[in-house]
Amino acid sequence: MRPRFAAAVALTATAALALTGCTKKNDDTAASGDATGDKTYKVAFVPKLQGVPYFEAMNAGGKEAAAALGNVEWLYQGPTQADAAAQADIVRSYIQQKVDALIVAPNDPDSMAPLLQQAKDAGIHVATADTDAPSSVREVFVNQATAQGIGEGLTDSLLTAMGGKGKYAIVSCGQTAENLNSWIEVQKAYTKTKYPDAEIVDIVYAGEDQAKATQMATDLMNAHPDLTGLVGECTSSAPGVAQAVKDAGKIGKVFTVGLGTPQSMKPYLTDKSSTAAILWDVENLGYLTAWAGAQLAQGKPFTASNNVSSDLSAVAYTEADKMLLLGPALAITDQNVDQFNY
């Protein structure tokens, strides 16, 4: 058993919070897809980047699912930098190993698509998780939350702190990351319609480099002295922008929100250099990813509602876009951050 989210902070109707309890995953192995027979299925996951808290939490969830399912060998390897070429080499290695299911969080969806085709041609089931390659042959996308919910949740949290008006900038990470770009498009449109007195003045890209995100946020504040908000669009830039505000002595004058993992954001939530981290249960995302790979490897179809585990008893699947949806986003604040151990 591990702690679960016990108290939720409301975002908006479109970004309602997920509530979970302290339970043991996968009490019902029949519902979760455990198969009879002795075959062990190799399910490989290639994250954008290995060694960062976010993807290590996904890995922990994947390991937990494999242990609960009993017939899955969970393989996990990613590049040490968010580099599409290095990620491609790892994907090729798993194709050569003839794994049963190959799941990727692509740094560059377009360059990953041909490799997923190669894997399919080799008889390997292919999927994406965390970020999609929508033009590829992937059989399912394991999505953490809708782009609409994440984009609106970030915007509402920031603009509430900013008083509904003012100028803000976005420090994103990979310029080709499909998930980040989809959230930014929502933020741009939602800000324009709901907050007409607010303006996004710039969008910059720091890769997966927290120090670079801090420097870019500092440069943005210098270039725009009237800037009152910053968004860190990924788990490295979220603490990066908060650190920049802290270093500049502008806590309470420039507000930040971001997609940060709980413990990395805790000091910034505590000193108010960050208002909130908008995220989801990352370990549950890893659990769902491993379960989805096992389903594909065993030739088991997804249904409209999937009983994956006791924590994930009604995971929605939409056939039209071949997507499994973990659920709505969470708002992590100084009030609930200690309920997460990653």
Please check whether residue 14 lies inside any domain of the structure. no
Query: For residue 173, which phi and psi values (nearest 5 degrees)?
Result: -120, -105
pLDDT exceeding 70 applies to what percent of the chain?
89
Q: CB–CB of 49/302 below 8 Å?
A: no
What is the model's pLDDT at position 330? 87
Contacts (Cβ under 8 Å, ≥6 apart) of 311: 4, 20, 23, 25, 284, 287
Q: Are 245 and 137 in a shared domain? A: no
Tens digits of residue pLDDT in 13-36? 333 333 333 333 344 443 444 444
Q: Are 227 and 247 in a shared domain? A: yes
Q: How confident is the model at residue 38 (pLDDT cuts 50, 70, 90)?
A: confident
Number of structural domains (the chain) is 2
- Mean of pLDDT values over 54-62: 97
Q: Are 100 and 157 in a shared domain? A: no
Name residue 101's beta-bridge partners.
Answer: 43, 125
pLDDT exceeding 90 applies to what percent of the chain?
87
Please check whether residue 333 lies inside any domain of the structure. no
What is the model's pLDDT at position 37? 60
At how many degrees (to 10) do helices 237-248 and 262-270 cross?
Answer: 20
Q: Are 100 and 169 in a shared domain? A: no
Domain boundary among 240, 255, 279: 279
> Does 115 have pLDDT greater than 60?
yes
Q: Are 294 and 270 in a shared domain? A: no
Q: Are 171 and 251 in a shared domain? A: yes
At how many degrees (to 10) do helices 282-297 and 53-69 cross?
Answer: 50
User: How many CA within 13 A on the CB side of residue 229?
Assistant: 29
Q: Are 174 and 103 in a shared domain? A: no
Question: Residue 258 in 3-state DSSP?
Answer: strand
CA distances from 140 to 22, 255, 288, 292 (A): 29, 37, 12, 8
Please check whether residue 11 lies inside any domain of the structure. no
Q: Of 284, 330, 42, whose CA–CA distance to 142 is shortest?
A: 284
Which pTM value belongs to this model? 0.84
- Mean of pLDDT values over 65-81: 97
Q: How confident is the model at residue 325 (pLDDT cuts 50, 70, 90)?
A: very high
Domain that holds residue 322: 23-144+281-327
The average confidence (pLDDT) of the chain is 90
Q: Are 89 and 105 in a shared domain? A: yes
What is the model's pLDDT at position 33? 43
CA distances from 10 to 14, 26, 255 (A): 10, 28, 19
Q: Are 157 and 132 in a shared domain? A: no
Q: How confident is the model at residue 314 (pLDDT cuts 50, 70, 90)?
A: very high
Please check whether residue 4 lies inside any domain of the structure. no
Q: Are 178 and 132 in a shared domain? A: no
For the chain, list the strands marked E by DSSP.
41-46, 72-76, 101-104, 125-129, 141-143, 166-172, 198-205, 227-232, 255-258, 276-279, 305-306, 315-318, 323-325, 330-332
DSSP states of 172-216 as a string?
Answer: ES-TT-HHHHHHHHHHHHHHHHH-TTEEEEEEEE-TT-HHHHHHH
Please check whether residue 1 lies inside any domain of the structure. no
What is the model's pLDDT at position 74? 98
Tens digits of residue pLDDT in 205-231? 999 999 999 999 999 999 999 999 999
Q: Report d(CA 221, CA 38) in Å as an integer.
A: 59
Which CATH number belongs to the domain containing residue 251 in this structure?
A: 3.40.50.2300
Q: How confident is the model at residue 158 (pLDDT cuts 50, 70, 90)?
A: very high
Please check whether residue 8 lies inside any domain of the structure. no
Q: Are 268 and 177 in a shared domain? A: yes
Contacts (Cβ under 8 Å, ≥6 apart) of 162: 168, 198, 228, 229, 255
Please check whether residue 338 lies inside any domain of the structure. no
Q: Are 156 and 275 in a shared domain? A: yes
- Mean of pLDDT values over 121-136: 97
What is the model's pLDDT at position 109? 96
Least confident of 22-26, 67-71, 244-248: 22-26
Please check whether residue 47 lies inside any domain of the structure. yes
